[in-house]
Structure 1
Amino acid sequence: MDLPGGGAGFAEQFSGLRREVERFIANGEPGAAAQLTPEAWRLKQQLQAAGRVDAAAVSPDRQAFLEEMRPYAQAAAARLGVTPDIVLAQAALESGWGRKPLTLANGGNSHNLFGIKADSRWRGGVAAALTTEFADGQKQSRVESFRAYPDYQAAFDDYARLLASNPRYRAALGVGGDAQAFARGLASGGYASDPGYAGKLADLVGQLRRTAR
């Protein structure tokens, strides 16, 4: 990895940027580039390309989340024709690695790890939450209704059923381990309004795969 500059001053500056990047990867949300300075963002990309920060990408808490959700993800992935790590990455991306669950009015867990909204056809429980949507490229915050489930098994089952039965997501099905094809299929089907959603999801799958080596 080639980095510009030299001397003690640069070494100190680089060390500070490195700490910033590692804090971001350990605690930040996937793809939240706005939390980093431009210099630190460039360093993050260089370090990831060199395989120098992947160990921090999956902390013990995040690893525990992945292991808990893995059996559910394996079943959902088999139904969708994709690899389990793709489903796990989407659950992590949507729920902040399980740290930002959608809660019920009584404070209970909705078990909704995929940010699936409750439309007029939904007959199950509902959790209201403040969410960020993009309209004409601009962020907007508003309260939306989301589906609530009795447990994670029901959540993964509904997620797989939604993608498998909705023709909008046909391009995401049966792509095996092609995370980019899956992410593009979701994005083109309108799964999320964030214009960077596909890139964030594909990047996170790549992080999980590099860490698992």
Structure 2
Amino acid sequence: MFTVRNDIGAGPDFGADAVALPLMGQGGGDGERFADQWSGQLRSEVRDFIENGSDSWASLSPEGAWARQRVQDATLGGSMPYGADQQAFLDSIAPYAQQAAAKLGVAPELVSAHAALESGWGQRPLTRADGGSNHNLFGIKAGKGWQGEVTRALTTEHVDGRDVKRTENFRAYSGLQDAFADYAQLLAGNPRYRGALGVGGNAQAFAQALAQGGYATDPGYADKLRKVAAGIQARKQP
């Protein structure tokens, strides 16, 4: 029933020895001095953050804090860096995400992450024929039982190992409140997504349950959603 409309990635996987760091110079000089800094203690700090994600900024050296910031940014998904536009998007949907999350028994950050992933942080929304937004931030299709307004849009489905472009019918809403309410009703009322309910802030459980329920055809969907959610959650940590 559902598909992946966007091509947004969720950033690379970062192992303890694969954190991308800037070159301070070409060859020797500053580049060599930075290489000397990137040694045992810094690797240990970043490894602890990647594996545990719970250490405080105050406990890190300046280099470790800088590397931690880079790792956090890499989890947020897509090619767009997390900045003012992304925060503005999260702020704009926050009250609706909280309402939907309360009905689903999950943290608001998980709902916000799902909307961010499906809509490209609000930059690639589904639109009506007149170019206006249809407020469908979750890429929900309009099946036979849907009695509301419909928007036709091009979508990408992953079928038999290939990406296939199709034009499909999607639900359209009068505003964000209706969109988020319908999203919550869909997840709560469909037994396929039962595993996504009541998971609190567990992004892995939420994402995996949606993927297993068939929310999207992208085989990497769960991992993408988990990473976006983890990035939003990390930003809320003191």
Aligned AA (1:146): F
Q: In the alignment, what sits opposite 1:60?
A: 84
Q: TM-score, normalising length from structure 2? A: 0.70
Superposition pairs for residues 119-138 of structure 1, below 5 Å?
Answer: 119-138=143-162
Alignment partner, residue 165 of structure 1: 189
More helix by share: 1
Q: Which residue of 1 aligns with 2:36?
A: none
Could you tell me how far 1:137 is from its partner in structure 2? 1.9
The offset of 1:177, in angstroms, is 0.8
Distance between the aligned counterparts of 1:211 and 1:163, measured in 2? 26
- The residue aligned with 2:8 is 29
Distance verdict in 2 for CA 1:151–1:187, change over 3 Å: same
Partner of 1:51: 68
Retained in 2: the 8 A contact 1:117–1:146?
yes
Paired with 2:9 and 2:20, the residues of 1 have a C-alpha distance of 12
Shift of 1:44: 5.0
Partners of 1:165 and 1:125 lie apart in 2 by 20
CA RMSD of aligned residues (A): 2.2
Letter in 1 for 2:97: A
TM-score of the superposed pair, with normalisation by structure 1: 0.78
* Aligned position for 1:117: 141
1:209 is the counterpart of 2:226: no
- Cα deviation, 1:155-212, whole Å, max 9, x if unaligned, reads 0000000000000100111111111101111011100000000000001111112222
Structure 1: segments with no counterpart, 5+ residues: 1-27, 34-41
Measured in 1, the distance between the counterparts of 2:139 and 2:219 equals: 16
Instruction: For 2:222 and 2:194, locate their aligned partners in 1 and report how far apart those are by CA, in whole Å.
Output: 15
Which residue number corresponds to residue 192 of structure 1?
A: 216
Q: Does the Cα contact within 8 Å between 2:73 and 2:231 map onto a contact in 1?
A: no
| Long gaps (5+) in structure 2 | 1-6, 13-17, 22-42, 51-66, 75-80
Distance (whole Å) between structure 2 residues aligned to residue 106 and residue 177 of structure 1: 38
Aligned residue type for 1:139: D
Higher relative contact order (CA 8 A, sep 6+): 2
Amino acid at match of 2:8: E
Which of the pair has more CA radius of gyration? 2
Number of residues of Structure 1 aligned to a counterpart in Structure 2: 178
